[in-house]
Amino acid sequence: MSDTDHVNRQGINLLESRVLECGHIFREQAISDFGIDAQIEIKQDDTPTGRLIAVQVKTGPSYLGEEKDSGFWYRPSDEHYNLWINHSLPVIIVLCDLESRTCYYQIVTIENCVTTGKNWKILVPKSQTITSETTDTLADMASPIAAASDFSIVREDDVSHGTARRISLYIVAHAGLKPMSKPHLGAIVRAALNHGRETTYARDDISAAAHYGRTADVVWGNIYLREADINSAGWICRFQWISPELDTRWRPFALSGEDHGNGLIIDWPQNTHIANLSDAARVGKAGYLAKADALLNKLPTMRDALDSLIKAGTPSAKCAEFSRDA
């Protein structure tokens, strides 16, 4: 282990001890996601809630060098800034001072990021430290929880084979009064995943017998804004969960996307406004008939134009007129 790796490991261990003092769960990413080193899961009354915070940990004097009276400036790369601002989980940056055994933190928001003209910087306040006194503060920052009324699982498929129980879900998110944000959709993903892992649905008696009493090894899910979008593949996000316990021989190809740890990947489309575009393009029966009537009314003009074209061997005025109006 290099000196840098050793320092980083000390920082992770220090932060884990502080989070445990708060009564929450610290979960280091088995394979560190780009820009995310760990997750904190909030516990309430000693029970895990599924509410999460993504964490980037930086350790050592070099990260504490740009000091001012109120805190420390941290300068993320553009890649990290874009990742954190667009992440479906709240993200905090933690600076670990091994000498004083202190973990300073700041939540990454657009408001907390200051542009330098070329890059970004974030002030991590000296007043914000993770200790046994910050239990409620961390809980206030964590991701939301999806209520049962926030979504419906409209279809459930059992695509298991002999060596792995595999479930595929089709989910419709209900916007309601809540903003359809990434954090909210991420909460729906985790709630739907819990259902998929525990479901007893089986496609037939053979599958039921082969996997009796087993939780799912693999869960896929697509989330839509409307049930009508399912046939047009108009999902607004999709996810894949592969149990860390599943033998590598029976694992499907991994989905690429946002790594949430513990086998969960969430994929977000590049064009997140696709559902709005679908809404604009979709018309009701009356609108459809009106468009069809307009096209049918042009058929006589098109027939006359084609007759003129055949007779003259050149485009006619009527043909040009039809082409212009079509």
Question: Could you report the per-residue pLDDT of 76-124, keeping only the tens digit for each?
Answer: 999 999 999 989 999 999 999 999 999 999 999 999 999 988 899 999 9
Say if CB 221 and CB 196 are below 8 A apart: yes
Same domain, 91 and 107: yes
Query: What is the DSSP code string of 90-145?
Result: -EEEEEEETTTTEEEEEE--TTTEEE-SSSEEEEEETT-B-SGGGHHHHHHHSPP-
**272: DSSP letter:** T
Residues 299 and 208 in one domain: no
DSSP-based three-state secondary structure for 66: coil
Q: How confident is the model at residue 286 (pLDDT cuts 50, 70, 90)?
A: low
179 pLDDT exceeds 80? no
Together in a domain, 64 and 123: yes
- Backbone Cα Rg of the chain: 27
Strands 91-97 and 47-59, sheet pairing: parallel
Query: Do 124 and 79 belong together in one domain?
Result: yes
Long-range contacts, 19-23 (Cβ 8 Å, 24+): 19/130, 19/138, 21/131, 21/132, 22/130, 22/131, 22/132, 22/134, 22/135, 22/138, 23/135
- For tokens 């053979």, the residue is 206
Q: 141, 176, 210 — which closes off a domain?
A: 141
Which range of residues forms the domain containing residue 111?
3-141
- Residues 6 or more apart from 134 whose CB is under 8 A from it? 22
30 and 110 assigned to the same domain? yes
Handedness of CA 110, 49, 21, 98 (dihedral sign): negative
Domain end position, chosen among 91, 121, 141:
141
Domain co-membership, 249 together with 310: no
Give me the residue label for tokens 């050793």: 6
Helix, coil or strand: residue 19: helix
- In terms of domains, do 49 and 83 share one? yes
Instruction: Please report which confidence band the pLDDT of residue 301 belongs to, taking 50, 70 and 90 as the band edges.
Output: confident
How do residues 119-145 score in pLDDT, each as one tens digit?
999 999 999 999 999 999 999 999 988
pLDDT given for residue 279 in this prediction: 42
- The two structure tokens encoding residue 74: 């941290």
Of 141, 162, 179, which residue is a domain's last? 141
